[in-house]
Structure 1
Amino acid sequence: MWAFINKLRSPKWFYAISERLLPWFWVAAAALILVGSVWGLAFAPADYQQGNSFRIIYVHVPAAFLAQSIFVSMAVCGLVYMVWKIKVADMVAAMVAPLGAAMTFISLFSGAVWGVPTWGTWWMWDARLTSMLILFFLYLGVIALRGAFASRDSASRAASVLAMVGVINIPIIKYSVDWWYTLHQPATFTVTGRVGMPMEMWAPLLIMVLGFYSFFIAVTLMRTRSEILRRESNKRWVRELAGERH
Structure 2
Amino acid sequence: MALSLTPVWRWFHRWTSPPNFYRISRPWAHGLMAVGGTALFVAWIWGLVFAPEDYLQGNSYRIIFVHVPSASASLALYLTMAITAVISLVWKIKLADMVIRQCIPVGLTLTALALISGAIWGRPTWGVYWIWDARLTSMLLQLFLFIGMWAIHTAIDQQKLADRATAILVLVGFVNLPIIKWSVDWWNTMHQPATIRITGETTMVWEMLAPLLLSMAATYCVVAALVLYRTRWEILYRERKTRWVQDELGIRGKA
Q: TM-score range by the shorter chain?
A: over 0.9
Q: Which residue of 2 aligns with 1:160?
A: 167
Shift of 1:7: 2.2
Distance 2:106 2:220 in 1: 12
The within-5 A match list for 1:25-64 is 25-64=32-71
Contact between 1:78 and 1:89, CA under 8 Å: does it hold in 2?
Answer: yes
How much has 1:52 moved relative to structure 2?
Answer: 0.3
CA RMSD in angstroms comes to: 1.1
Look up the equivalent residue of 1:89 and give its one-letter code.
Answer: A
* Residue 19 (structure 1) shift: 1.2
1:127 corresponds to: 134
- The correspondence for 2:222, drawn from 193, 211, 215, is 215
Q: Say if 2:220 is the partner of 1:192.
A: no
**Alignment correspondent of 2:85:** 78
Alpha carbons 1:8, 1:86 under 8 Å: kept: no
Which residue of structure 2 aligns with residue 117 of structure 1?
Answer: 124
What is the identity percentage for the equivalent residue pairs of Structure 1 and Structure 2?
A: 46
Amino acid at match of 1:70: L
Letter of the structure 1 residue corresponding to residue 121 of structure 2: W
Instruction: Measure the CA separation in 1 of the matches of 2:206 and 2:10.
Output: 41
Structure 1 runs, 4 residues or longer, greater than 4 Å off: none
Compute the displacement of 1:4 (Å): 4.5
Structure-1 residue corresponding to 2:152:
145
Question: TM-score scaled to structure 2, two decimals?
Answer: 0.94
Partner of 1:243: 250
8 A Cα contact 1:82 1:157, kept in partner: yes
Q: How many residues matched?
A: 246
Show CA shifts across 1:44-90 (max 9, x none). 00100000000000000001001111111111111111111111111
- Look up the SS of the partner of 1:124 in the other structure: coil
Q: Deviations along 1:119-144, whole A, 9 cap, x unmatched?
A: 00011101100110011001111111
Query: Separation in 1 of the partners of 2:24 and 2:32?
Result: 13
- Name the counterpart of 2:110: 103
CA distance in 2, matches of 1:71, 1:30: 22
Q: Are residue 89 (structure 1) and residue 60 (structure 2) matched?
A: no
AA paired with 1:187?
A
For the residues of structure 1 that align with 2:213 and 2:118, how far apart are their CA atoms?
18
Read off the aligned partner of 1:157 and give its amino acid letter.
R
* Alpha-carbon separation, structure 2, partners of 1:118 and 1:4: 52
Deviation at 1:234, TM superposition (A): 1.2
In the superposition, the TM-score normalised over structure 1's length comes to: 0.97
Aligned equivalents of 2:235 and 2:154: distance in 1?
A: 18
